Amino acid sequence: MIQLLVFLPLLAAIVAGLGGRIIGNVPAKAVTTASLFISCALAWPIFLGYLSGSSEAQVAHVLTWIVSGDLKVDWALRVDTLTAVMLVVVTTVSALVHLYSWGYMAEDPSQPRFFAYLSLFTFAMLMLVTSDNLVQMFFGWEGVGLASYLLIGFWYHKPSANAAAIKAFVVNRVGDFGFSLGIFGTFLVFGTVSIPAILEAAPGMAGSTIGFLGYRVDTMTLLCLLLFVGAMGKSAQLGLHTWLPDAMEGPTPVSALIHAATMVTAGVFMVCRLSPMFETSHAALTVVTYVGAATALFAATVGTTQTDIKRVIAYSTCSQLGYMFFAAGVGAYGAAMFHLFTHAFFKALLFLGAGSVIHAMHHEQDMRFYGGLRKSIPWTFAAMTAGTLAITGVGIIDVFGFAGFYSKDAIIESAYASATQAGGIAFFVGIFAALLTSFYSWRLVFLTFFGTPRWAASEHIQHAVHDAHGHGHDHDHDHGHAQHQQDADHVAPDEGAGHEPTAHDPGAEDVVHGTAGYHPHESPIPMMIPLGVLSLGAIFAGFVFAGAFVGADAGEHFWKGAIAFNEHLVHASHEVPLWVKLSPGIVMLIGLLTAWMAYIRDPSIPGRFTATFRGLYSFLLHKWYWDELYDFVFVKPAFAIGRFLWKRGDQGTIDRFGPDGISWVVSATGAAARRLQSGYVYTYALVMLLGLAGLATWAMVR
């Protein structure tokens, strides 16, 4: 059954990708979507089996893959609790994204190619999470990287999409280089790439040292940090995060799949899978904690200034991944996986909900041109509200809460209960990031669904109105129109620079009348069904599964050795002081109230704030200047070196003295020879005479 679950998406990708032009759009979409729903239907019984405690870990051998000296790699599918969780997350979200894409991509001429890429992406992730050895994991690791490149750059006719795809590919190569070094080092130390064998032998290597770059360093710390570099790249942690926001250039279903279920969760999964290795190195866990906490803070601050609806949610993903990593860093691997599980539901819901809004607003993605949409698209509004309640962690202790209330609070409580310096810092960072998460999430809701419609200022809506009135305006638009990239001279109107008509503005009435020719509409049924299903997950996933993931006896009954489950930390996290448990809810309310004051009660507040703190606003708007820093340190020098080698090396040296120089000599010699070939007998006689005279002179001198 596991073989069918894993390889069915690959088979569907081959059929749709190679035979899409023959069988047509609908059969290609039907084959890929049906295969994912079948895989999903097979994944849930596996997960429920581990949930009930009736299933044990098993390995399904597929074939012998590599035999080279001491290196023996079998292609085998490992299924345990950790795998079962990931199978449910990947197949459920992917199946719903496939169904959603029937509506969202209905007008795209390359639908078979798109659905083939989606299925290939899913297959690569399934290979990653079922891997029984590090080489097979690396195969899936690189597979999701390739598929993400294809999907982010799906609209290849757009330069911005091509640039974003290349950026994602290059940045991930940096992380993957560290990951590959970690795999090499692990094989060197343990003599095997089998994950169970490595994890069994890892405690015995604690305290040993190994030579690296001329120094003796702790063996397990080095291996874990190298492997973690790979996780930083895939899961967009601070320093290797710059590709993630630009990945929004791909179609919205791609964003949902990458951010909720596949590529960015691979790093968290890998750290949890290898948790017994990380447990042998306190230094490595400390690094994981600090990097995760820094990422959560960074992304949350940047999310408060973004105006593109998809980029707000993208930075939210980056921040939530930071939570998962600092949970793993303090030893709360169950809480990290629990948040990965719940995050898949509400983040996919938010992205697909954003796609429904974009669809309703004629592919406009800038929230400054939204407003008042709750009456026009009420079902989308309800779904995104459910997702917002989940990500902000709304709930009542010991009564009921949305998904994030259970998983994110479990992480924060675990960080406090860890009683370490790194855990304490992560706790306070997590609380502050929760405040910012609440603010930017409700800011998104208020700017999109409340207030006065601000549609007339949108170029996309203007063209939609013109087309509706039969003006026949020639405007090339598609689902993946260029993002509203912010720069130093482009300050968001809702932050006080520029003009944004609001309910308090004299121009508000003109805006309403100006959009009378366009009416936002709900998305088609194939797009609404996934929103409904994911809404159920966002509402109930935490309440239903909290006990299994982070309960007091979860290590014995659910996880069964699939991760390094710290029972002492789990018990301590349940016994933290009441103020610790109340803190996430309090800051959530503060963020909600702040967003309501700034975007509903008095919309002039953001403008006044940015005018007062323009330096801070510019710093956050430019994403802490990471892109500018990398451009200065790496990109510009690389281009300068390339230009030097091109102009001075290739053209100035190689071409000058090589092909160009030789061709000049040949040409000059030929020209001289042509002048000698006059065709007159006396010319040839003179040459012969001169030759004889020269020969005679040489003979006499000798």
What tens digit of pLDDT does each residue of 533-585 get? 999 999 999 999 999 999 988 888 899 889 999 999 999 999 999 999 999 99
Considering the domain boundaries, does residue 304 fall inside one?
A: yes
Q: Encode pLDDT of 198-253 as tens digits.
A: 999 999 999 899 998 888 999 999 999 999 999 999 998 999 999 998 888 889 99
What's the confidence (pLDDT) of residue 477? 38
Using alpha carbons, select from 591, 338, 560 the residue that is nearest to residue 440.
591
235 neighbors 265 (Cβ within 8 angstroms): yes
Domain count, the chain: 2
Does 398 lie in the same domain as 292?
Answer: yes
**Confidence class for position 466, pLDDT limits 50, 70, 90:** low
Does 696 lie in the same domain as 587?
Answer: no
Does 685 lie in the same domain as 582?
Answer: no
83 neighbors 272 (Cβ within 8 angstroms): no
Measured between alpha carbons, how far is residue 152 from residues 17, 149, 247, 307 in Å? 17, 5, 6, 20
Q: State mean pLDDT over 289-295.
A: 96
Number of residues assigned to the chain: 702
Domain boundary residue, one of 611, 638, 659? 611
Alpha carbons 465 and 369: distance in angstroms, whole number: 15
243 neighbors 235 (Cβ within 8 angstroms): no
Does 262 lie in the same domain as 211?
Answer: yes
**Confidence class for position 501, pLDDT limits 50, 70, 90:** very low
Does 562 lie in the same domain as 414?
Answer: yes
Considering the domain boundaries, does residue 361 fall inside one?
A: yes
Domain boundary residue, one of 611, 639, 663? 611
Does 602 lie in the same domain as 643?
Answer: no
Task: Give me the amino acid identity at 129.
Answer: V
What CA dihedral angle connects 595, 600, 601 and 602, to 10 degrees?
80
Does 641 lie in the same domain as 575?
Answer: no
- Contacts of residues 532-537 at CB distance under 8 Å and 24 or more positions apart, as own/partner, are 532/383, 533/96, 534/96, 534/345, 534/346, 534/348, 534/349, 534/352, 534/383, 534/387, 535/349, 535/382, 535/383, 535/386, 535/387, 537/92, 537/342, 537/344, 537/345, 537/346, 537/349, 537/403
Does 673 lie in the same domain as 530?
Answer: no
Counting residues of the chain whose pLDDT is more than 90, the rounded percentage is 69
Q: State mean pLDDT over 276-290.
A: 96
Alpha carbons 370 and 616: distance in angstroms, whole number: 26
Q: Encode pLDDT of 170-190 as tens digits.
A: 999 999 999 999 999 999 999
Q: How far is CA 582 from the centre of its chain?
A: 31
Averaged pLDDT score across all residues of the chain: 88
Using alpha carbons, select from 248, 269, 259 the residue that is nearest to residue 179.
269
Does 290 lie in the same domain as 227?
Answer: yes
In this prediction the pTM is 0.88
Q: Encode pLDDT of 475-486 as tens digits.
A: 333 444 433 443
Considering the domain boundaries, does residue 652 fall inside one?
A: yes
Which residues lie below 8 Å from residue 265, measured CB to CB, with a gap of 6+?
86, 89, 235, 321, 340, 344
What's the confidence (pLDDT) of residue 646? 86
What's the confidence (pLDDT) of residue 681? 84
Q: Reduced to 3 states, what is the DSSP secondary structure of residue 613?
A: coil
Measured between alpha carbons, how far is residue 642 from residues 169, 636, 648 in Å? 20, 10, 10
Considering the domain boundaries, does residue 697 fall inside one?
A: yes
Considering the domain boundaries, does residue 512 fall inside one?
A: no
Using alpha carbons, select from 334, 326, 320 the residue that is nearest to residue 260.
320
What's the confidence (pLDDT) of residue 648? 84
Does 553 lie in the same domain as 691?
Answer: no
Alpha carbons 88 and 39: distance in angstroms, whole number: 9
Considering the domain boundaries, does residue 490 fall inside one?
A: no
What's the confidence (pLDDT) of residue 491? 38
Using alpha carbons, select from 490, 493, 483, 484 the residue that is nearest to residue 454.
493
Does 642 lie in the same domain as 593?
Answer: no
6 neighbors 60 (Cβ within 8 angstroms): no
Which residues lie below 8 Å from residue 149, measured CB to CB, with a gap of 6+?
165, 166, 168, 169
**Model confidence at 107: pLDDT above 70:** yes
Alpha carbons 617 and 298: distance in angstroms, whole number: 14
For the chain, the maximum distance between any two Cα atoms, rounded to a whole number of angstroms, is: 119
Domain boundary residue, one of 576, 611, 646? 611
Does 607 lie in the same domain as 634?
Answer: no
Domain of 671, in residue numbers: 629-701
Q: State mean pLDDT over 42-62.
A: 92
Considering the domain boundaries, does residue 119 fall inside one?
A: yes
Q: Encode pLDDT of 667-691 as tens digits.
A: 888 888 777 777 888 778 888 898 8
Which residues are bridge partners to 395 per DSSP? Answer: 401
